[in-house]
Chain A
Amino acid sequence: MSILVLADLHEGQLAGATAHVVAAAEAIGGDIDVLVAGEGVQAAAEAAAKLNGVTKVRVADNVVYAHQLAEPLSALLVELADDYTHVLASASTTGKNVLPRLAALKDVSQLSDIIAVDSADTFKRPIYAGNAIATVKSDDALKVITVRTTGFDAVSEGGSGSASIEAVDVVVENSQSSFVKEELAQSDRPELGGAKVVISGGRGMGNGENFKLLDGIADKLGAAIGASRAAVDAGFVPNDMQVGQTGKIVAPELYIAVGISGAIQHLAGMKDSKVIVAINKDDEAPIFQVADYGLVGDLFEILPELESNI
């Protein structure tokens, strides 16, 4: 078994998701190589080499791979895939964008969002917004898989940098797509996907201004701030804060849902959290059926009290 992991990058640096994907690769077993593709990614490659379990880091550093556009990245992966039995990436927007394209180019199926490894060819994945878990077996010669990062604990950093780093000199052509611009939301808080505590607001927050009520609590708890789709669609907060089937999947130690009713699509994104707290004025809200601790009341009174008492 030999596994290639496509590294996640965030603004050129190695993203936390990669360590979770390496953990999934370890569960499959075999040599694990990590591909770092982008422009100016030497530091990311060195960070990847420090991850425990990694045999080799392959670096494709070229302007054509900048911004990880699907066309050049999948073409690169096609060139490398023959050396491997499995190609893995996180189920991030990049992984989801690139891996199905690779799979089709190699004429194999792709398995999305796996949460467990039964064996080298059998995996578990959620379907129907997480309301059912499917066990699927792939008989394809090459397994192309995206990994739900919350399903696997991150491998630790060895610190020794024992993995070798080698350059990949494959350069592909791309005349079909080009990068125009990026608008990234700036935040000092932990990344939503990896945060230990998440506090989310829903339609009950009333407006975007009221989301500031969550700031103080988030600061005290070192939490990331999320939102329901209703809050995003109402324009309260940007879409990258959305937790749910169509947004981010989180599984923190503590998830605090404020003014969120608990629609199926939202639950799909957070119901694997260790402890769920719901604050809602409607005591019939479905969120209370999954919440470990529920507090019925007006969030505008509860939130300031919570902030001052934590």
Chain B
Amino acid sequence: MKVLVAVKRVIDYNVKIRVKADHSDVDLTNVKMAMNPFCEIAVEEAVRLKEKGVATEVVAVSVGPKAAQEQLRTSLALGADRAIHIETDERVESLAVAKLLANVVDEEQPGLVILGKQAIDTDNNQTGQMLAALTNLPQGTFASEVVVDGDKLHVTREIDGGLQTIALTLPAIVTTDLRLNEPRYAKLPDIMKAKKKPMDVRTPADFGVEVASKVSLLKVESPAERKGGVKVASVDELIDKLKNEAKVL
């Protein structure tokens, strides 16, 4: 079974972001970028499926600027066999990403597609679900366990009240939650080998997909700052403040 993994280049999760002075967007110049943490988990899961003999080939795909090839190289170093880069400098909304990925699914015919549940920049949590809709495949979102059982896929999902297990027909789309696995680190020899692995570079136009969205970003602002608080010296003082000053007890 071929496994397709989608990865996104985002601002590193430790970075404290700055909003641009003209409020047009978040400032990404000279900021450390990395693979989206949920995508790392997706790559790890695909590689583990290959190590178990369930997956025969792992293909990593990314939509974004030329620099996104760094994250695809990382995927290759972690164990993906080849990569597809759909290059665009436009701001691509989830629906357009899903349309591009649907074209790749159509070409590659994978048995399973794994994506992260959300990107930590836009926090949308949409692409996997949209891809499932466009390819008319079942979806197992927010997965904390994935088990291939013959022609079925058992997915344990993290839901609000606890856990839910569903069975899906294959092929299927899965999005990863944090507890699915612990991603490995790429070793230097693997990073070197990854440079020789194939990378197919395409454009949205190759697939006839219009990237422009009907959603426009009007403004980006910093959230309201919280006022610096006070430190109290004792439990009694804390309770007194909560009762008489904040009036929440």
Contacts and interface: CB of A to CB of B under 8 A. Distances in A.
B165 A180 contact: yes
If over half of B's interface residues share one DSSP class (helix, strand or loop), that class is named, otherwise mixed; here it is mixed
A293 B141 contact: no
Interface stretch (A53-61, A67-75, A80-88): A67-75
Interface stretch (A31-39, A42-50, A91-99, A164-172): A91-99
B120 interface: yes
A100 B115 CA distance: 14
B223 to A, nearest CB: 5
Interface residues of A, number: 90
Contact of A128 (B26, B117, B142, B231): B26
B222 A133 contact: yes
Nearest to A93: B159
A127 B123 contact: yes
Contact of B232 (A135, A293, A309): A293
B71 interface: no
A130 B17 CA distance: 10
A298 to B, nearest CB: 12
Nearest to B228: A289
Contacts of A254: 242, 246, 248-249
Contact of B248 (A101, A274, A291): A274
Given A239-B144, A309-B239, A92 B221 contact: no
B214 A108 contact: yes
B145 to A, nearest CB: 11
Nearest to A304: B235
Contacts of B108: none
Given A92-B160, A134-B219, A309-B235, A71 B138 contact: yes
B125 A103 contact: no
Contacts of A305: 235
Interface of B: 11, 13-14, 16-17, 19, 26, 93-95, 98, 117-118, 120-134, 137-139, 141-142, 144, 154, 157-169, 177-179, 213-223, 226-232, 234-236, 238-239, 241-242, 246, 248-249
Question: Which 10 A-B residue pairings sit nearest by Cβ, starting from the closest?
Answer: A100-B129, A104-B133, A104-B130, A176-B138, A100-B126, A292-B229, A180-B165, A184-B162, A135-B219, A139-B214
30 contacts: A67-B166, A70-B132, A97-B129, A97-B139, A100-B125, A103-B130, A104-B95, A109-B95, A110-B126, A112-B124, A122-B218, A131-B16, A134-B220, A135-B220, A138-B215, A139-B215, A177-B138, A177-B167, A185-B162, A264-B16, A275-B242, A276-B229, A288-B231, A291-B229, A292-B246, A293-B231, A293-B242, A295-B234, A295-B238, A310-B239
